Structure 1
Amino acid sequence: MTENILHPWKQETIIRHTQRLLLSYKYWTGKSLLDTDGTPELIAQALWEAPFIVFSHGMESDPIYNYGNRKALDLWEVDWEQLTQMPSRYSAEPMEQEERVRVLNEVTSNGYISNVGGVRVSRSGKRIRVSNFTIWNLLDENQQKCGQAATFNEWEYIQ
């Protein structure tokens, strides 16, 4: 495996994306997603190794994941390459798709939403009940929307 797959947080684009994730979260919620100092690379590593889930997708018509930290990859049962080629809708069960779209539209309009829950599915089909999602719009360096991100730290596998 290449270094980019094993340690994606070392890529310049991911270091920059990490900054967008953290700054956008702070902008919308007024809170820090990650309390750490250091160089942008050390901060990117800290988010990669965080004990909670963080992932994001871009703005394609069928958005593709463009980031997931180690916990997210483990939960979805994918590696970096698989995640970054996967439409984000695949993480929600078919019966949850309509609600997922509604929530993402609300985030688009309002900037962020908290305390969202639902059932998601891993790549192998394991069902996961997620609680206390926070979803927010990602902003680039010019304050233009460039995607959406989510975080949570409560989940359980269900039958």
Structure 2
Amino acid sequence: MKEPSAANAFQAEQARLIVTSYQHVLGEAFPVAEAEELYHAPFAVLSHNTDADPVLTYGNLFAQELFEVRWGDLVTMHSKNTAEQMHRNKRNRMFETMRSQGYIRNYQGVRISASGKRFEIQNATIWPLLDTEGKKQGEAAFFADFHRL
């Protein structure tokens, strides 16, 4: 998958999936509507696929900078690797809760960048990515609040 740019309409299909799934699942408008806006948004947006060990499928510039990873490395990274081993059980429990409730708001958890910098995300929203037929295509998260540890 190529990095979002004008040449590929900023990965419009994945951006649309993120935005429309959020609107469908949460019943409210996502903070931005267009693919280019999403990629340049002043908050982190990430998504992963439905593999048994999910791989990231999207991360806007804010997320790439926070996790200190370039697009090509981001979209080949297993999403569990955004958290240190000691925090993965809490992360897994959050996903279990999200799957049973439909979505999660106000999630907080410790994450780690590619260079080992730890930070805590706060007030994150996590939801399933559903295509137009209602089939699950992955899961997504967005957050603006974090602090470095």
Regarding TM over 0.5, the answer is yes
CA contact (8 A) 2:21 2:130 kept: yes
| Residue in structure 1 matched with residue 17 of structure 2 by the alignment | 20
User: Residue type matched to 2:77 in 1?
Assistant: M
User: Residue type matched to 2:19 in 1?
Assistant: L
Structure 1 residues 9 and 111, CA gap change in structure 2 (3 angstroms)? farther
1:1-159 alignment to 2 at 5 Å? 4-5=2-3, 7-8=4-5, 10-11=7-8, 14-36=11-33, 43-158=34-149
| TM-score normalised by structure 2 residue count | 0.93
Take 2:133 and 2:6, find their aligned partners in 1: how far apart are those partners? 23
**Structure 2: any 5+ residue segments left out of the alignment?**
none
User: Residue type matched to 2:45 in 1?
Assistant: V
Structure 1 residues 154 and 10, CA gap change in structure 2 (3 angstroms)? farther
Shift of 1:74: 0.4
In the TM superposition, structure 1's runs of 4+ consecutive aligned residues that sit over 4 Å from their partners are none
User: Residue type matched to 2:121 in 1?
Assistant: V
Take 2:6 and 2:24, find their aligned partners in 1: how far apart are those partners? 22
Shift of 1:93: 1.6
Question: Kindly, what percent of the aligned residue pairs are identical?
Answer: 36
Take 1:35 and 1:18, find their aligned partners in 2: how far apart are those partners? 10
Shift of 1:25: 0.6
CA contact (8 A) 2:9 2:35 kept: no
CA contact (8 A) 2:43 2:142 kept: yes
| Residue in structure 2 matched with residue 39 of structure 1 by the alignment | none
Choose between structure 1 and 2: higher helix proportion. 1
User: Residue type matched to 1:51 in 2?
Assistant: P
**Structure 1: any 5+ residue segments left out of the alignment?**
37-42
Shift of 1:107: 1.6
CA contact (8 A) 2:107 2:123 kept: yes
Task: Give SS of 2:17's match.
Answer: helix
| TM-score normalised by structure 1 residue count | 0.87
